[in-house]
């Protein structure tokens, strides 16, 4: 029988034929796709014709087309619906794919052709995007070691293969720890919890085959449990289990893996002549240098810590009044912060959540995209990879723009967190192709599914990433969508969060799930007014992780990352009751692949721009101002990585912003 992964996909929108795919199809499909890619690469390298853009750079863009198509399916499934067969294949594939990439960048004949095109570029009549793609291709080869001697290339290939295997192991260990812990809750354990949380815990129990409610390590359950449970003993047990992911000893312990990853990254950077991995990693980013990153983070750290310390004193007083013994602990902060929020802002999550049904918030995000960019969303009746996933066709003025897949509910087979990925990206080179983009979240289940304000913000954040894919309009796939500098990629996502707070959008979509009544204006206004509440905590926990990440990579790799983490946090004066958002053993952003390594700062770097970018709409007097939205689409959302990030932002805004809008947006500005 024909392997469905290798056949032409002739179904609607050329989507993967999920119903026909078996796990056993992936291994032979990858073998065939790798063989086809190697043959094309060899043909490009051996081409007797004079090296030009089309027969070298353009050909490279399409050389691994089957492999890219296959990887888009497999790795989306491995993250959102893992099973033992997929995990085993992922472990097997990681070093093989790394070896293939090393083969390509280590191909001397191929690199010689790239260098020939580079040398002749002035006379080739290239347009701006072609020049950009040529520069990026050459830079990627150089940064992968294409100019090293044979021994250096061999060592680089070995490092990359080992890092790929370690990153996969790190992620799978984390998922195993998250999947392996639960606590059954009796009636007494549920006292004081709001009804919506009890329902979510019951749904989690049903999903795990248990007769009653259970607490798992899904963030959508742990965080509200820490907010609402009056039982300090249960909060401590839950927090310790959450904090111990990846550090429980045994086969799933990630601490030695993290140490080896850091050592290999340092060696990789030094092979290429860089003093540290951070210097290597930041060279192509907007920030350029570790010193620039540290300056930004520390400028925000001091006011954030001061705010957090003041809040800690207030929360400690509440703990003491309750008869609590000892100092405020990490498992106390969210509980007392939630009580204080109710006192200061008259806000109760149990009052808010019925107005934030999942389907209503999806509709709100679609509505904002429609009013800004003229997009329309039509539900599709398709068989996808899991019953929870659903799809929409995105159109504009009758033109097909993309397929959007939403997979929103937590389940044991899904890694934690929320993310945006693409089954395929947009391009014109090699034939017009529109994106198939996916948002994956981990919201607690229920009937209906009700979101917290933070959940709704996460939904808008990930949909901002999706818009980067949906509106992409470039020729070459390598610069499409989110293929931009790491510290620029969060701009569209963080910017789109602002529309969640637009009163007109909330009035239209934030309606009570039972009565259909709109959110009362007074509640809406209190909710928006409380946007900076507890920002000392949120900013400090984030910055602690970002600064530890930077320190790990900006100098010699620590032999004992946990000891070094403790040193960094002590030097910063991290408040006792605020943990890092992501401690080393479960810091998947940094260790489950290279994506955010030495780059976790990127969220704050982008926030400097997103605060300023939304101000452009405010200055226009309309959050849906058509002219401002058109500039945003033209210069940022549709442009992908077709120009330098700073060039794109200046084209949109006319200048680069300072840090002041960020501080003001977090309520940390002086005075």
3-state secondary structure string across 32-70: HHHHHHHHHHHHHHHCCCCCCHHHHHHHHHHHCHHHHHH
Alpha-carbon distance 294 to 540, whole Å? 14
Helix (H) or strand (E) holding 491: helix 490-497
Spell out a b/e string for 3-37, using b for 16 or more CB atoms within 10 Å of the CB, else e: ebbeeeeeeeebbbebebbeeebbeebbebbbebb
Fold of the 252-336+535-600 domain: 1.10.1370
Strands in 419-424's sheet, in edge-to-edge order, are 376-380, 390-396, 399-409, 435-443, 419-424
Position 671 scores a pLDDT of: 58
> Residue 661: which of 606, 615, 618 has the closest Cα?
615
Per-domain residue ranges of the chain:
12-175, 181-245, 252-336+535-600, 353-532, 604-665
Contacts of 22 (CB under 8 A, 6+ apart): none
Marked catalytic residue, from 462, 541, 607, 633: 462
Alpha-carbon distance 567 to 569, whole Å? 6
Are 252-336+535-600 and 353-532 the same fold in CATH? yes
Known catalytic residue at 266: no
Alpha-carbon distance 228 to 213, whole Å? 16
Alpha-carbon distance 101 to 111, whole Å? 13
Alpha-carbon distance 503 to 527, whole Å? 11
What is the CATH class of 12-175?
Answer: mainly alpha
Fold of the 353-532 domain: 1.10.1370
> Residue 257: which of 569, 23, 590, 2 has the closest Cα?
590
CB 354 within 8 A of CB 514: yes
Position 423 scores a pLDDT of: 97
In the beta sheet, which residues pair with residue 433?
427
Alpha-carbon distance 305 to 550, whole Å? 18
Mean pLDDT by 10 residues, the chain (671 residues): 91 96 97 98 98 98 97 96 96 96 97 98 98 98 97 97 97 95 96 92 93 94 96 97 96 98 98 98 96 96 96 97 94 96 90 95 98 98 96 98 97 92 97 97 90 95 98 98 96 97 96 96 92 95 98 97 98 97 97 94 95 95 98 98 97 93 87 58
Position 661 scores a pLDDT of: 86
Cα 471 to Cα 4, 285, 375, 613: the distances in Å are 29, 23, 9, 18
Give CA torsion, residues 255, 302, 614, 641, to 10 deg.
-40
Give CA torsion, residues 106, 111, 112, 118, to 10 deg.
-160
């Amino acid at each position: 029988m024909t392997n469905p992964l290798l056949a032409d996909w002739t179904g609607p929108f050329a989507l993967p034929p999920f119903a026909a795919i078996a796990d056993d199809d992936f291994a032979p499909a990858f073998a065939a796709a790798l063989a086809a890619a190697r043959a094309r690469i060899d043909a490009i390298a051996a081409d007797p014709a004079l090296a030009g853009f089309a027969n070298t750079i353009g050909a490279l863009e399409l050389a691994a087309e089957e492999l890219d198509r296959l990887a888009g399916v497999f790795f989306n499934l491995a993250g959102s619906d893992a099973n033992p067969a997929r995990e085993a294949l992922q472990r097997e594939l990681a070093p093989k794919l790394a070896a293939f990439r090393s083969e390509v960048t280590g191909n001397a004949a191929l690199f010689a052709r790239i260098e020939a095109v580079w040398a002749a570029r002035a006379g080739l009549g290239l347009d701006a995007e072609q020049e950009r793609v040529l520069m990026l291709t050459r830079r990627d080869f150089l940064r992968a070691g294409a100019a090293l001697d044979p021994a250096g290339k061999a060592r680089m290939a070995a490092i990359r293969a080992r890092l790929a295997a370690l990153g996969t192991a790190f992620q799978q260990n984390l998922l195993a720890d998250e999947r392996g812990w639960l606590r059954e809750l009796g009636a007494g354990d549920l006292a004081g919890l709001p009804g919506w949380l009890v329902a979510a815990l019951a749904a989690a129990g049903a999903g795990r085959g248990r007769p009653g409610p259970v607490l798992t390590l899904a963030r959508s359950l742990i965080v509200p449990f820490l907010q609402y449970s009056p039982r300090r003993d249960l909060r401590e047990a839950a927090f310790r289990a959450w904090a111990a992911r990846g550090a429980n000893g045994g086969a799933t312990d990630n601490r030695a893996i993290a140490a080896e990853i850091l050592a290999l990254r340092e060696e990789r950077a030094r092979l290429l002549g860089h003093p540290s991995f951070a210097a290597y990693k930041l060279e192509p980013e907007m920030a350029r240098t570790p010193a620039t990153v540290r300056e930004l983070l520390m400028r925000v750290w001091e006011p954030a810590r001061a705010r957090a310390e003041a809040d800690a004193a207030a929360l400690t007083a509440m703990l003491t009044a309750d008869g609590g013994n000892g100092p405020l602990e990490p498992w106390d902060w969210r509980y007392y912060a939630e009580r204080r929020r109710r006192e200061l802002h008259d806000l109760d999550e149990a009052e808010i959540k019925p107005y934030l049904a999942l389907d209503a918030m999806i509709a709100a995000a679609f509505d904002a995209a429609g009013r800004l960019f003229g997009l329309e969303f039509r539900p599709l009746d398709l068989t996808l990879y899991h019953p929870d996933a659903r799809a929409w066709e995105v159109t504009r003025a009758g033109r097909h723009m993309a397929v959007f897949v939403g997979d929103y509910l937590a389940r044991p087979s899904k890694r934690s967190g929320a993310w945006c990925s693409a089954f395929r990206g947009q391009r014109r080179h090699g034939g017009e192709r529109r994106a198939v983009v996916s948002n994956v979240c981990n919201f607690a289940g229920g009937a209906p599914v009700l979101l917290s304000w933070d959940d709704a913000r996460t939904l808008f954040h990930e949909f901002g990433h999706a818009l980067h894919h949906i509106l992409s309009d470039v020729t070459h796939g390598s610069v499409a969508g989110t293929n931009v500098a790491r510290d620029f990629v969060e701009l569209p996502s963080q910017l789109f969060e602002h529309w969640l707070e637009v009163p007109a959008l909330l009035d239209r979509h934030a309606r009570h799930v039972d009565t259909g009544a709109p959110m009362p204006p007074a509640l809406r206004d209190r909710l928006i007014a409380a946007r900076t509440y507890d920002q000392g905590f949120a900013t400090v926990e984030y910055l602690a992780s970002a600064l530890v990440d930077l320190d790990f990579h900006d100098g010699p790799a620590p032999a004992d990352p946990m000891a070094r983490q403790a040193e960094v946090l002590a030097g910063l004066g991290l408040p006792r009751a605020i943990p890092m958002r992501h401690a080393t053993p479960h810091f998947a952003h940094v260790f489950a692949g290279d994506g955010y390594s030495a780059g976790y700062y990127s969220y704050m770097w982008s926030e400097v721009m997103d605060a300023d970018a939304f101000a452009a709409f405010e200055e226009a007097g309309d959050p849906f101002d058509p002219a401002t939205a058109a500039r945003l689409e033209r210069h940022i959302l549709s442009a992908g990585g077709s120009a330098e990030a700073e060039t794109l932002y200046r084209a949109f805004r006319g200048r680069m912003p300072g840090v002041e809008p960020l501080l003001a947006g977090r309520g940390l500005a002086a005075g």
